[in-house]
A and B are shown apart, each in its own frame.
Chain A
Amino acid sequence: MSMQVTAQAFEANARKALQDPNLRKAMDIIGGPMASRRVETARELPEFDALRDEGVKIKNHVLQHIDLYLEKFEQQVTARGGKVHWCRTPREARETILALCRSRNAKTVTKGKSMVTEEIGLNAFLEAQGIQPIETDLGEYIIQLAHEPPSHIIGPALHKTREQVAELFEEHHPDYELPQSPGVKAGPRSSDPQALVTEARAVLRERYFQADVGITGANFLIAETGATVIVTNEGNGDLTQSLPKMHIAVSSIEKVIPNLEDLSTILRILARSATGQEMSCYTTLSCGPKRPGDKDGPEEFHVVLLDNGRSEMLGTALEPLMRCIRCGACMNNCPVYRSVGGHAYGWVYPGPIGAALDPHMIGLETARHLPNASTFCGKCEEVCPMRIPLPDIMRHWREQAHAQQITPPLQRWGIEAWAFAAKRPWLYRLGSRIAIAALHMLGRKRGGRFARLPLAAGWTDGRDLPAPQAAETFMAQYRRRRRGGGR
């Protein structure tokens, strides 16, 4: 019931993405503003890198004592009249949320943005149980209308052009009255972002009041105060969690941090890394249900805490992944993500963080392409505010795939045959001598390069292959010169 997995078809997904003109257009934001804004705001804060180090320290400390901090968090939530629900699996989380919704006879729930609810496939599950989830984050709302999963962890509809959004609204908002001059017949819907935002806001406003339950995620869980924290730019999360009678925050165990001091440290690097803002527009802390005398707030406050394999990462090569604060900087700066978009990765978490995390969550056999589909350029690690060694973790998966024979036989044998020669310099020299002489001779006839070469189609489909410069390898030339007494 979790989100549909297509990671095993990465190659086909990528090919489709590369041929999608709308996606090509939409993805321009990745190489452009998403990367450059981060650089600008980071430059304006001289202590940015020191804050990253501080953030890493905080997270590493938490991971060493995560049991203590989670228990403290629960105590504090309970003390303020809320309840924490510990869920090992997506199924447990779904059932817990369903039971809570049923207890309120919920017909509709509003939702703030939450990747963990994507991870557990919550929307499809609730719909199947007769409960209508309504996404209120603009990007999530757009892809809910399009029946698509998010393609980016902070910009779920980043793969859509505004023209595509206007088309979706045209189809799904038949009753919305476009602002028009009196007497003028409604024309084609504008794709002006401001008009689209105004429209979404007007349509969604009604839904907040109808909702029986509000479900949000949580960027952080504060052990000291029992608060859940959401960081948004639209204010939709605030309405989602404070208008309905019940607020359910769905989060995962690694989101816990010790105290508000730590929160302020990490907040200073989160938005800068994510959208290149100094701070997101709204940072909202929820501390339990409405107290006597409070003017607003939910009557019930629940925290659904998901493990879903995370605790198994503790103490392993994967542990650094639990420092992730889901800022999206790795995908905003990834050349592969820029080319293929988020859907190609085929599961909830795309880009470099997905390539490192997804094999653990959905199995290496299914996700084996993801850690391989990286140039190891290292940009993701360079920009990661939590300094997660993403390429090292991807290489870890490649080693696992090789050892477990998940790597396709042809690739495995190819590399082993090459290594067999590389370990025997005399053999390698003999082989390379023959190959280079032949390639050079053939290449010279073809103007110094190959437009087609058998066994190298992966290269020559899109590029010429330069021919070797000379008929002899460097080592052969060098030896000849030495023997000849030159130099």
Chain B
Amino acid sequence: MTSPESPAAAPPRVALFVTCLVDLYRPGVGFAAIKLLEDAGCIVEVPEAQVCCGQPAYNSGDRADTTAIARQVIAAFEGYDYVVAPSGSCGGMIRDHYPALFAAEPDWQVRAGAVAARTYELTSFLVDVLKVDTLAGVACDAKATYHDSCSGLRELGVKTQPRRLLESVAGLELVEMQTPETCCGFGGTFCIKYGEVSTDIVSRKTADIAATGAGLLLAGDMGCLLNMAGRLQREGSAVQVRHVAEVLAGMADGPAIGEASLGEADKGAAP
């Protein structure tokens, strides 16, 4: 079983695509992802040359810069068994959109396709690839609701996987919104360029969240989370907002998104 010829026996080498929002805004999510992957038996590496998947440029119509950034990502990530991102949006960019960027460059298209085929959103990688069924010893005493981020849901089919993993979190009760699949209004640069429209969309979302009676809002994408947290807090809501990986990794003790860190306790993000 442990013969070196059998790839199934060797622990998979996973490259973590941190995503720029996790890098800047919520480092704890990156460490939670590493913990989840390592607990599931992976060897996790974080390639140095990563910055962003290129979506801000891609969705702004800047094709040249998008392609340059994509080349950088492909080169940094092509040596691994898998690429995993704690985001359906960035995962979808690499998996769904990278190959199409290089329609006119066959060599790069092959490389893009190879990386794309091995790229997964975190919870779907755990469930669909690693066949993780339950997480042992994780607890979170809360009534939670889960928002399905658009790209993860529609590009990568992330829907049941996070819910399945949340089932094994002791003390966690999951209540569904009426419209968990409806966009929160973030939309990348959209939320700045059309701030009032974006605010109106997220206000419908927060009303839906409030109606569940949940005290904790979870999702798998930092963009949506920052948007919903920002609106909830503007409305004076007490609902806490976290990335689903924090709960699954048992690292949901520190301040939630948009909450004040307590003195040096914020170093808790980097134990």
Contact = CB atoms under 8 A, between A and B. Distances in A.
Interface of A: 11, 14-15, 18, 31, 335-336, 338-340, 372-379, 381-382, 395, 397-403, 407, 411-412, 415-416, 418-419, 421-423, 425, 428, 432, 435-436, 440, 443-444, 447-449, 451, 456-459, 461-475, 477-478, 480-481
Contact of A407 (B31, B60, B192, B229): B60
A477 B61 contact: no
23 contacts: A11-B194, A18-B196, A31-B179, A336-B197, A338-B204, A374-B190, A376-B59, A382-B154, A398-B61, A412-B62, A419-B69, A422-B51, A422-B57, A444-B260, A444-B261, A444-B266, A462-B202, A463-B231, A469-B266, A470-B270, A473-B24, A474-B31, A477-B27
Given A31-B204, A379-B150, A467 B258 contact: yes
Contacts of A456: 192
Contacts of B181: 379
Interface in B234-271: 234, 254-255, 257-261, 266-267, 269-270
Contacts of A375: 150, 183, 185-188, 190, 198, 201
B183 A403 contact: no
A466 B257 contact: yes
Which of A375, A469, A472, A478 lies at the interface centre, i.e. has the most chain B CB atoms within 10 A of its CB?
Answer: A469
Contacts of A379: 150, 154, 181-183
B115 interface: no
A339 B201 contact: yes
A339 B199 CA distance: 10
Interface of B: 18, 22-28, 30-31, 46, 48-52, 54, 56-63, 65, 68-69, 72, 150-151, 154-155, 179, 181-183, 185-204, 226-227, 229-231, 233-234, 254-255, 257-261, 266-267, 269-270
Contact of B231 (A31, A444, A462, A480): A462
B62 A377 contact: no
Nearest to A418: B56
Contact of B230 (A399, A407, A464): A464
Nearest to A24: B200
Contacts of B230: 449, 459, 463-466
B196 to A, nearest CB: 6
Given A377-B150, A395-B58, A428-B51, A477 B269 contact: yes
B19 to A, nearest CB: 9
A379 B200 CA distance: 18
B51 A425 contact: yes
Contacts of A400: 61
Contact of B27 (A338, A463, A474): A474
B57 to A, nearest CB: 5
Given A425-B49, A425-B51, A464-B234, A395 B59 contact: yes
Given A335-B182, A472-B270, A474-B22, A402 B257 contact: no
A379 B266 CA distance: 38
A374 B185 CA distance: 9
Contacts of B199: 461-463
A466 B260 contact: no
Contacts of A447: 259-260
A423 to B, nearest CB: 5
A45 B71 CA distance: 44
Contact of A402 (B62, B202, B233): B62
Nearest to A467: B258
B229 to A, nearest CB: 5
B207 to A, nearest CB: 11
Contact of A469 (B18, B65, B234, B255): B255
Nearest to B261: A444
Given A375-B198, A425-B48, A463-B234, 13 more contacts: A372-B194, A375-B150, A376-B190, A377-B183, A395-B58, A425-B49, A443-B260, A461-B199, A465-B230, A472-B27, A473-B24, A474-B24, A474-B30
A423 B62 CA distance: 13
Contacts of B189: 411, 415
A435 B190 CA distance: 22
B231 to A, nearest CB: 5
A448 B255 contact: yes
A458 B227 CA distance: 12
B193 A474 contact: no
Given A375-B201, A415-B62, A462-B196, A473 B258 contact: no
A399 B46 CA distance: 32
Contacts of A477: 27, 31, 269-270
Contacts of A459: 191-192, 195, 230
A431 B59 CA distance: 23
A402 B189 CA distance: 15
